[in-house]
């Protein structure tokens, strides 16, 4: 159990350092007050509460695992842990999905991201409700009397329902960013994005391992379940936090995501500018001829005006032009 305390401490310390780094860079340095920043802070607060309860429970189990009073106290805390655990997970999910919505703008998957966001918003309180009514009265969750005690978690319908919703939303969060990778030619950026969100797969694996351990021996796997759930929560927070730490990452990924969706619009706009400007140039030539008594602009002058026009349109319509960079920088 001492090992469990060490692992819990390391997982929480890692999450805290990553979140603190993001808070400093995004809120204090860049003055960015986006909703996902505060969702991540709340997720960490829920995680700290969860970690405190888990540390106390592990301490109780170290002192005595056979004392009935200790068993009741441990089961009491264990009954309330899911509220902090689920809260931290779903706050992290919301932060991740808001980031996905920003980065997938212009892709068909952006609609999927928005629907997933609403699914997460609904499933979070629904998970609390399912857990609360899964065993009534709620006090039976910490009863040690076999006649009144609730069924083991792995035999409870609400447990499997909430786990399915948790894994389902995790799979969606892992899958959503990858369609946007098709527009990214930079191999390093592609690997960075893939690596960050591959951590989400680690969270899914960790959650599955926890379920397997609880299924094999629910009573004796309490300490291992506590440690694994702490690692899972830490991974979720880091997946939500790490991508937003780098402004360069966001700008480069956002540029490539938006370029695909808006390139056709820029092309149409450029064509309209050329047509409109050509008409204005023709009118100027006609006016010049009338005013000069038939004298016209030389071929060199016409060519020079056309080159200047094309250069202006090219600068304004290029996906990598200065004007686009300025817009991204201001965002």
Q: Tokens 């106290």 label which residue? A: 73
CA distance 178 to 147: 50
Question: Quick count: other Cβ atoms within 10 Å of Cβ 33?
Answer: 9
Looking at the fold, whether 83 and 197 belong to one and the same domain comes out as yes
Same domain for 86 and 134: yes
In a domain, 257, yes or no: no
240 & 282 share domain? no
Distance CA 35, CA 97 (A): 11
**Phi, psi torsion values for 295, nearest 5 degrees:** -65, 140
36-47 per-residue burial string, b: 16 or more CB within 10 A, e: under 16? bbebbbebbebb
Burial-class residue 237 by CB neighbours within 10 Å (0-12, 13-18, 19+).
Answer: buried
| Residue at 254 is within a domain | no
Pair 26, 19: CB distance under 8 Å: no
In this structure, the answer to whether residues 35 and 127 fall within a common structural domain is: yes
pLDDT tens digit sequence for 115-136: 999 999 999 999 999 999 988 8
Residues 202 and 289 grouped into a single domain: no
Q: Which of 118, 92, 104 is nearest to 241 (CA)?
A: 92
Q: How far is residue 289's CA from residue 302's CA, in Å, rounded to a whole number?
A: 13
- What CA–CA distance (Å, rounded) separates 221 from 247? 42
Pair (233, 268) in one structural domain: no
Residues 174, 221 within the same domain: yes
Q: Which of 245, 270, 285 is the last residue of a domain?
A: 245
In this structure, the answer to whether residues 230 and 141 fall within a common structural domain is yes
- Can you give the residue range of the structural domain that contains 106? 2-245
Q: Which of 188, 213, 245 corresponds to the end of one domain?
A: 245
Q: What's the CA gap between 329 and 331, in Å, rounded?
A: 5
Q: Is 159 helix (H, G, I), strand (E, B) or coil?
A: helix
The answer to whether position 38 is within a domain reads yes
Residues 216 and 273 in one domain: no
Distance of alpha carbon 276 from alpha carbon 279, whole angstroms: 5
217 and 288: one domain?
A: no
Check which CATH number belongs to the domain holding 206 and give it: 1.20.1070
Residues 192 and 323 in one domain: no
Counted domains in the chain: 2
In a domain, 280, yes or no: yes
Contacting residues for 272 by C-beta, under 8 A, at least 6 apart: none
CA distances to 65, 279, 297, 308 from 282, in Å: 92, 5, 11, 15
Q: What are 193-224's pLDDT values in tens digits?
A: 777 777 778 888 888 888 887 777 666 677 78
Q: Which pTM does this prediction carry?
A: 0.73
Tens of each residue's pLDDT in the chain, 331 residues = 577 788 889 999 999 999 999 999 889 988 888 999 999 999 999 999 999 998 888 888 777 666 778 888 888 888 899 999 999 999 999 999 998 888 778 778 889 889 999 999 999 999 999 999 988 899 888 888 888 888 877 677 888 888 899 999 998 888 887 776 666 777 777 777 777 777 778 888 888 888 887 777 666 677 788 888 899 999 999 989 988 776 555 555 555 544 544 444 444 444 454 455 555 555 555 555 555 444 444 545 544 554 454 454 444 433 333 333 333 333 3
Phi-psi region of 293 (alpha: psi -120 to 50; beta: other; left: phi over 0): left
Is 252 part of any domain? no
Judgement on whether residues 180 and 206 belong to the same structural domain of the protein: yes
What is the C-alpha end-to-end distance of the chain, expressed in Å?
48
């Amino acid at each position: 159990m001492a090992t469990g305390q060490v692992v819990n401490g390391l997982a929480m310390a890692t999450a805290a350092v990553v979140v603190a780094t993001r808070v400093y860079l995004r809120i204090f340095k860049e003055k960015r007050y986006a909703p996902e920043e505060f969702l991540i802070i709340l997720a960490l607060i829920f995680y700290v509460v969860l970690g405190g309860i888990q540390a106390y429970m592990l301490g109780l189990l170290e002192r005595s695992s056979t004392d009935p009073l200790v068993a009741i106290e441990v089961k009491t805390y264990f009954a309330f842990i899911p509220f902090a655990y689920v809260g931290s997970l779903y706050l992290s999910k919301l932060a991740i999905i808001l980031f996905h919505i920003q980065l997938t703008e212009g892709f068909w998957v952006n609609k999927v991201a928005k629907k997933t966001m609403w699914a997460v918003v609904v499933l979070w309180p629904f998970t609390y409700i399912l857990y609360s009514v899964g065993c009534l009265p709620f006090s039976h969750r910490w009863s040690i009397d076999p006649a009144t005690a609730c069924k083991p978690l792995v035999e409870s319908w609400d447990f499997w329902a909430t786990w399915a919703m948790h894994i389902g939303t995790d799979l969606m969060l892992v899958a959503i960013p990858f369609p946007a990778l098709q527009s990214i030619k930079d191999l390093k950026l592609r690997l960075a994005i893939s690596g960050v969100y591959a951590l989400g797969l680690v969270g899914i694996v960790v959650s599955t391992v926890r379920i397997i351990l609880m299924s094999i021996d629910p009573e004796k796997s309490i300490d291992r379940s506590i440690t694994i759930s702490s690692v899972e929560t830490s991974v979720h927070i880091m997946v939500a936090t790490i991508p937003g730490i780098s402004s360069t990452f966001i700008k480069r990924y956002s540029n490539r995501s938006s370029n695909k969706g808006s390139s056709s619009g820029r092309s149409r706009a450029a064509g309209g500018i050329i047509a409109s400007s050509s008409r204005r140039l023709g009118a100027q030539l006609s006016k010049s001829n009338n005013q000069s008594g038939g004298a016209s602009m030389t071929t060199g002058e016409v060519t020079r005006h056309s080159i200047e026009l094309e250069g202006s349109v090219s600068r304004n319509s290029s996906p990598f032009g200065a004007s686009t960079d300025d817009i991204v920088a201001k965002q």
